[in-house]
Structures are given as C-alpha cells and as structure tokens.
Chains A and B, each alone.
Chain A
Amino acid sequence: MQSKLLKKEMTIPADFLYSPRAATIVKTKQMTANEKFFEIKFDDGEPLGHEPGQFIQLSIFGIGEAPVGICSSPTKEDRSTFEVCVRKVGTFTNALHKLDVGDKLGIRGPYGRGFPIDELKGNDVLIVAGGLGIVPLRSLINFIIDRRRDFGNVMILLGCKGPKDRLFTDDMKEWERMLNINYACTVDRADPDWKGNVGVITTLMPGVHIDKNRTYAVVVGPPIMYKFVIAELLKKGLSENQIILSLERRMKCGLGKCGHCQINSVYVCKDGPTFTYAELKGLGEAL
C-alpha cells in the first residue's frame, strides 16, 4: 500500500490545457493606425477548427496571453490558416503589433460558444456591428456568404467612429457590391471625402424593415451600443431570444476557472461569449 502511494509522484504529459500550439504569421496588414490584421498558420498544418464567434488565446512567451476573437470564417478557401485583427492597447497587443510575417506565435483554443448558426439557418439575419464588433462578425458574415442559400435575407449595419477607423474595407466593398446582401455603413464623424451616412448606428435603424417572425439580429459592439440597439430591435418586435450578442471580457484561462470573465453564475469564456439577450437580461454587470 505504502509503496503504491509513493509511486503517485508522476509527471503530467506536456501538451496539456495551458500549452500553446506553435503557429506562424503568414500575412499581416496594418488596417488603421491602431488595428493590425494577422493571418496565422499552425506549424503542424492543422486547421483551427473553429466556429464563427469563438475566440483563441494568443501567446507570446515572456509577455503573456490575450483572448482574441477570430475574424475569418471556417469556410474560408484556405482552411489551413485563420485570421485575427487586433487593436493596439496594452503591453501584449503592442508586442503583437511588432510581429510580422514569419514570426512565431502560440495559440490555445478555439474556446467558447460561437454564434448559433443552426438557429440562424433558414431565417433572415440582421447583423449590427459597432467598432471592433466587426471582428467576430466578419467570421459570421463570410460564413453566411459562403453558405448563402442556407439563409434568408441578410442585412449588415456597420458603425464606426470615422472613415479612417473602418476595418476590412476590402471586404466592405464586396459586401456593398453583393446583390443578395443589404449593406449600410455610418460614421460618427465624417471627414471631407466621406460621402456616406453620418451618425450613430441607431440612425440606420429606421431604414431597416424586417419580418419580426423570421429574423435574428446578431449585434456586437461596445456596451453603450448594446443599450440603444437592443431597445430599437425590441421596438421592431423581435423577441429577446432573437437578439444575439457577444461579450468582451478579459479571459485569462478560457477554461471556466480563473474567474475574470464571470458575470453572476455565468462564465463568458465557456457559456459564451455569444448569448441571447434573453440569457443576459437578468444578469447584473453583463451589459
């Protein structure tokens, strides 16, 4: 008995829970003054295997880790790579922005519950993106485009601070051109060259005509935007279950343990980051 007990001293196999997988940056693009785009490929050639709306933990040894939304669709032509777009705000993202093609990164994930694709299928989808909210939503938008006939009417409303803050402008041109997608963009403050809409995102809402019985709204943006957009959507007759949101929190583990992303009894990293408004409504500190 005793000797058996002593044998408990074993070692955990490497490559467990917290070990990042090695990946390499294959393409970068400075999108705005503060936002940079990265296309990343695992060194073992495996696809990430994510769903739109999920996130990963990026790792740079010596600096740390940061949770980042995935902005490419799993239906992308080259499935061996995936994409992220990151704003430079802190120590980690500053270090990340210094990296370029050929540099190595560590990846954990994908984590969390993505957008409810199966429920969206067969229905109209209204996508509302504010600021960085377009990052996870681009994954969904491109997924829908690649599986277009599975969905009904698709509308995209986009809001950002100014014309220079717009991300994915190449994609936007595509979306604008597509006949089977209704697309509108507005900026809070225009510059002299801007010919589009000016005003906060809710100013686009009066022009949106939806069939309340078959529309899901997927909304991602800063907390202040949620308040106003949700009110508008409820006014249009959508139920709380037809409004899907994604929350930003500072996940440290991504495994439902560390407590950083906890809202009441919900762990955003495991139970979310996407939720229906019905799920969030009763939770204090959620929005």
Chain B
Amino acid sequence: MRYVSLQKDKLPQFVNSLQKKYKVVAPVKKENLFVFATIEDPEEVELDYMPTILPPKKYFLPQHEKLGSFVKDNVAMADTNIDVEPTVLFGAHTCDIEGIECLDIVFHDTPADPYFGRRKKSIIIIGYECMKPCDEYSTCVTMDTLNPRAGYDIMITDIGDKYILYINSPEGMGIIGKNPIFGKVENERDVKTKLLKLREDKVKNFKVQIDADYKELNKIFGTSYNSKTWQDVGKRCVSCGNCTAVCPTCYCFDINDEVKLDMSGGKRERVWDSCQLDEFAMVTGGENFRKERSSRQRHRYYRKFDYSVKKYSKFFCVGCGRCTRTCMADISLIETVNELAKEHKNAK
C-alpha cells in the first residue's frame, strides 16, 4: 500500500488524529501573509497558501539553538541535551521540502551535526503539492522543485474531488496505519498514472520564470564572477540580511554566549547569521574579505548556484521566491539571473 485517499471534508479529522500524538506545525494565516505555527484547532490549517514568511527551516535549525549550558568557573559544558518534541510538519510545499533536503546534506556532512540530526529525526514531514503558481517571484519550474521528489514521509495531492496521499516512509505508514478515515485505493497503478498526468498538465499553468535552462544555470555562473550585474545589485542592496533569513537553504550561524543575570552561569547558543552583514567575513584585525555589498550579494548567489554545486552537486536555490518577496531594495532573483544569462549568451 503506497497510496490512500482522503475525502476533503475529513482533512481536519486527519489533522486532529495527528495532534493526539504529535505537535503539529502547519501553515496558518497571519494578517495577509502565512506562517508555519503550532496549531491548536485543525481548522486553522490553510493548505491554499503562499510561501510562508519564514521557511520550515526554523524547526530544523532554530534561530537560537542551545548548544549547551555552563555554570560559573567550569569550562566544560554542564549539559548538551536537547529535547525535541515529536512533531509533524504539515502541508509543506515541495520547494520547502527540497530546502530541508539541502540543509540535511550540509549538516550530515562530516562531522555530522547532532543537533540538526536530532530534529530531523523527530520531525515527520507531510507535504502538500502545489497545483497552481503562487506569484511571479517563484522559480520552482526552473529549479525543478515543483513536483515531489524525496524528503517527505507523506505527500498530499489534491486531485479535485479528494486528496491522494502517497506514503514514502515507514514513519508515514505508521501515521496512516489502520485509521478508518482513509479510503483504500483499488488500483495503485491507475493512481500513479493519474498523478503523472496531473503533473504534466499542471506545469502548463506555471510560466517558465528564468530565461535559462536548469542545465545551463551552472555554466552561466561559471562565467559571471566578474559580471557588472553584481555592482548594480550591490548599489541597491541595503545589507539588511532579510534574504538570507528567509532562505530555506541559508544556514550560516554565529556562536554566542548568554549569561544569566545573576552571573551564575548561562548558555552557549548557535544563532542565525547572515553573509550579507558587513562584519560577517571580517577578521579580528579589522581586515574584511567581503567589504563591498556587491561581493556579499555575489557570495549569496554563488552559494545557491555555484559553490553548492561544486561541494554537494546540488543547487541550493529551491525556487520559493522568498528572497525577492522580502527584499526592501527590490532585488529580484529572476532579474539578476536573467541579466547574467543575457551576458553569458552575448559573450558566447
């Protein structure tokens, strides 16, 4: 059994059954935007949603992760325990799942990170497939993250009159179990064919966002290091670091100590940092190896389209469009990459 069906009106019941055993985090409305949050009432879940303000990376790599605590006059960490409540991440889009996969590669690279590993193991991922484009900023077609591939336990697809759930792991199977709210799928092969057809058709609703092929992208970046585009982008950038905070695959961090008010001890924390901030690549003597905003922006793009390919054979842009959506200076990923693509073509 790889597929089950679910009547649409039974969805809250499904969420409710999850809540009995897990903390459920799902997209909910926040003013006119969406966020991932722990839900109380299954009715809060909004499956028809735009990419959330922050990606679900906040559950895997929290903005503040306690590495350990310490007590006064002791140089070894008093405890490095972390407790992760068994959690279900419900309704994650395929782009965000791909983002978690990217983080997984980085944090499982030697030496593997136990903090991330613990969270990854404790969070069950139930995806929800996008059937229509979210807005003009996403690039999931170009980045090939529109369709589910891997990295989830269950994938929910809306086939019109009902949902089809694809079970991708023993954990996913455990959740479906013998729960009577799910319908049996008579012919799994038919469902598979139907889903393939559905995916073929839905792409037609999405417009191709970047003027370059997926396979061309890396070549474009191979010749773009000294492009004048970086100067243009650098002139507009205000170095706020929003783009890296909202990026599903940005993982840079700082390590800070926080001391209790009574000075009896404290904790050492890993905190999100941003390569866009002025002092990020500065060494103690004051030398700054990425002083210019243009070089910092270039660094960000290269981490998505070039360095990650060299290091992990993978693009680290998942096409969610968050960096463009959040940018105060209207720096658009699509425009930037198109500009580079144009230069690359002309130079040929």
Binding site for B on A (CB under 8 A): 1-2, 4-6, 8-23, 59, 61-66, 87, 89-90, 93, 104-106, 222-223, 248-250, 252-253, 255-260, 262-265, 284-286
Contacts of A249 in B (CB 8 A): 281, 283, 289
Contact call A284/B268, Cβ cutoff below 8 A: no
Residue of A nearest to B311 (CB): A265
Contacts of A66 in B (CB 8 A): 284
Contacts of B290 in A (CB 8 A): 285
Contacts of B308 in A (CB 8 A): 265
Contact call B275/A104, Cβ cutoff below 8 A: no
B72 → A minimal CB distance (Å): 8
Knowing A1-B177, A255-B111, the reply to whether A20 touches B75 (Cβ < 8 A) is yes
Q: Would you list 17 pairs from A and B whose C-beta atoms are within 8 A, ordered by A residue?
A: A1-B177, A2-B177, A5-B21, A6-B21, A12-B115, A17-B111, A18-B67, A18-B77, A20-B75, A23-B75, A61-B75, A62-B263, A64-B257, A89-B284, A106-B75, A222-B285, A250-B284
Q: Identify whether the interface residues of A are mostly helix, strand, loop, or mixed.
A: loop
Encoded as 1 (CB less than 8 Å from any A CB) or 0, chain B from 77 to 90 comes to: 10111111110000
Residue of B nearest to A104 (CB): B75
Contact call A257/B311, Cβ cutoff below 8 A: no
Interface status of B273 (Cβ within 8 A of chain A) = yes
Contacts of A285 in B (CB 8 A): 281, 289-290, 295, 299
Knowing A1-B170, A90-B284, A250-B283, the reply to whether A258 touches B253 (Cβ < 8 A) is yes
Interface status of B135 (Cβ within 8 A of chain A) = no
Contacts of A93 in B (CB 8 A): 284
Knowing A6-B21, A258-B255, the reply to whether A104 touches B273 (Cβ < 8 A) is no
Interface status of B206 (Cβ within 8 A of chain A) = no
A239 → B minimal CB distance (Å): 24
Interface status of B44 (Cβ within 8 A of chain A) = no
Contact call B287/A14, Cβ cutoff below 8 A: no
B146 → A minimal CB distance (Å): 27
Contacts of B181 in A (CB 8 A): none
Contact call A62/B257, Cβ cutoff below 8 A: yes
Q: Which of A61, A252, A286 has the most CB of B within 10 A?
A: A61
Contact call A257/B255, Cβ cutoff below 8 A: no
Number of interface residues of B (CB under 8 A): 67
Contacts of B285 in A (CB 8 A): 87, 89, 222, 248
Q: Which of A66, A104, A262 has the most CB of B within 10 A?
A: A262
Contact call A18/B171, Cβ cutoff below 8 A: no
Contact call A9/B82, Cβ cutoff below 8 A: no
Interface status of B113 (Cβ within 8 A of chain A) = yes
Cβ < 8 Å to A, chain B residues 292-311: 295, 299, 302-303, 306-308, 310-311
Residue of B nearest to A62 (CB): B259
Interface status of B131 (Cβ within 8 A of chain A) = no
Contact call A1/B266, Cβ cutoff below 8 A: no
Contact of A19 among B68, B289, B299 (CB under 8 A): B68
Cβ < 8 Å to A, chain B residues 243-285: 251-257, 259, 263, 265-266, 268, 270, 273, 275, 280-285
Contact call A2/B268, Cβ cutoff below 8 A: no
Contact of B266 among A12, A19, A22, A62 (CB under 8 A): A62
Contacts of A252 in B (CB 8 A): 253-255, 273
A243 → B minimal CB distance (Å): 20
Knowing A16-B80, A106-B75, A260-B281, the reply to whether A9 touches B85 (Cβ < 8 A) is yes
